Structure 1
Amino acid sequence: MSENQSRRSFLQNLGVGLGTTAAAFAVPSVMAIPEGKPQKDEKKLGVALLGLGSYAKNQLAVGLENAKNCYLAGIVTGTPAKAEEWSKKYNIPAKNVYNYQNFDEIANNKDIDIVYVVTPNSLHREFVVRAAKAGKHVMCEKPMATSVEDSIAMIKACQEAGVQLGIGYRLHFEPFTQEVVRIGQKKVFGDVRFMQTNFGFTIGDPTQWRLKKAMAGGGPLMDVGIYCVQASRYVTGEEPLWVTAQYGETIDKVKFKDVEETVSWQMQFPSGAMVNGFSSYRSNIEQLYVSAEKGFLQLSPAYSYGPIKGKTQEGDMKMPVVHHQTVMLEEVCKEFLATKKFPKHIDGEEGLRDMKILMAIYEAAQTGKRISLV
């Protein structure tokens, strides 16, 4: 089977088992959400989900049902049965249902303002670019792409088309995370000295796309390690100076013949803060620990859909528990309705910054060298 035939076959069956682990967070002024003039929503923005896997079904669709300023206006899927199921469940008119072949016709659909790309990572570039050329604003799941080159191309396509590009960093809008950002960046407990950030789980189905490098771009680092990279950036509000990294021993050489099973990395930031990161597809762990000169903070669980829990030396963190995707969608659309722009802290440039770090971690693990990030 040729590469093109293989790709067409994959697209036709894309809906089967599709799901993306949601995004992460931000950096420096990243989490400093731009302040616009208070304004009532002029309308509900119409969102089309492209890729109807588990994340779209169990998280984004729920968020769109609950959000006050946006709604599920359309769908794009390669699976006819899913098109029928979703159309009935969400009362989506036939004219707002697309497949991957006729997707470009969405340019003529005034019901749809935003296309949310929820495909395997390797397809992000294609569909972000196609959505941009169709004149639609685009949200894209993390990681932004599978390479720095693709990330840059996505940003360029959206800029040339005059549309907004956002990355689904849901935790930028989550209260515990926002409190961690405040404590870290405002130096509530003094300068951050050290962070340990871990995210791993035991992966199942050995045939899934996450274990195929051509589709995922890598293993757990791309899938869940990106949360850890983000955490180190948004706690410090800085960009790392360098990274070193090591692959763990591959225990299951059959399942992990194409991507890493575990990877660890170390980074230093301009303030002197040191970070140890760890991601894995065979260890169940999810934790952020921050040691500062006058105290500590800890989130565990730290990155999944919740409920997130946290504490400091002063006791348990008491923050509201929210549905991550609902608050993300509402805040993104609120900002857009007020300013005609997506929040800067989730834009394509933010996704690109993460992509450069992820690629540097892989390079460091492969070469054994310390890779400069400045």
Structure 2
Amino acid sequence: MSLTIIKPGILDTIQDLGRTGYGRLGINAGGVMDRYAAQVANMLVGNDTREAVLEIHFPGAQVLFEQNSLITITGGDFGPMINDEPIPLWHPIVVRKNAILHFPKLQYGNRCYLAVHGGFCVNKWLNSYSTHLKAGAGGFKGRKLEKGDEVPYRESCIYFAGLLKPGKELEVMKWKVDTGHTYLHPHEIYIIKGNEWEQLTSQSQEQMLEDNFIIHPFSDRMGYQLKGIDLKRVEDTELVSSGVSFGTIQLLPNGQLIVLMADHQTTGGYPRVGHVISAHLPKLAQLRPSDCIHFQITDLATAENLLIAQQQELNILQRACTERLNNLVC
């Protein structure tokens, strides 16, 4: 079983939840930008949440399914269609052999995720399926997908053809995921104070929390460069390079901010003035260049409670999806 890339998108790569434990060697975790959307995608098709998914940016690829398949698309809305029929996001969908998936129109969001039942059959590099573009490793041949690539996925025990009505190219399953809470107020991003927060002048601290920042067009999977009022430090002292993570907010020498994203470096020497809380990283990942961000300070306890609530929601969702799919098999 496999899918074939008929027309490549701007940046379509195989990703999973990232490769952890290699930061001491200078190898970043990488992985999907929106962990929530990727995990839900795998749940909806009955996969383990650590299975590989296809991360798609707009304009997205055109994909031919070589076999009857159970798929889902989560994350950003690029107006997905199977042949000429629109399909909904956050639903499991059975598609017929030789169906073509394409993404003709950007509605909202910055990236979406395609998961297939069984998971993509690609080799791991350092215990992860994720594509590391700079190292040329992981994913599908260590690179983004190109025209003619055939990406295999594992055989299924489900007879998908029996779920398709005669003459129909697809069948949308009757359950979906409500994601309104996770992506609520998309431009409001909670942060906790970073180690160098106190190095900002009191005026710059106020400005960082009162003003809006615009995502620069040069932003990518490594970091979101922000445009806003110049922020200032009390003293321009040199710092020893320290560990950074997904969501670290650094102050650049020109007074502007950068938010580190999934492909961030493992250490940095710029002041870490804040960190985006983990529960809001999915919202951040779906913001596009020219979108605005408004930061709001919160405390560690609130950040932990929001993350726990999000994980509890995912646990409930996984059990519900498993039950639905088991009934489907029966």
The bucket for the TM-score relative to the shorter chain is under 0.3
Task: Tell me: higher relative CO, structure 1 or 2? Use CA pairs within 8 A at least 6 residues apart.
Answer: 1
Q: Say which structure is richer in strand.
A: 2
TM-score, normalised with respect to structure 1? 0.22
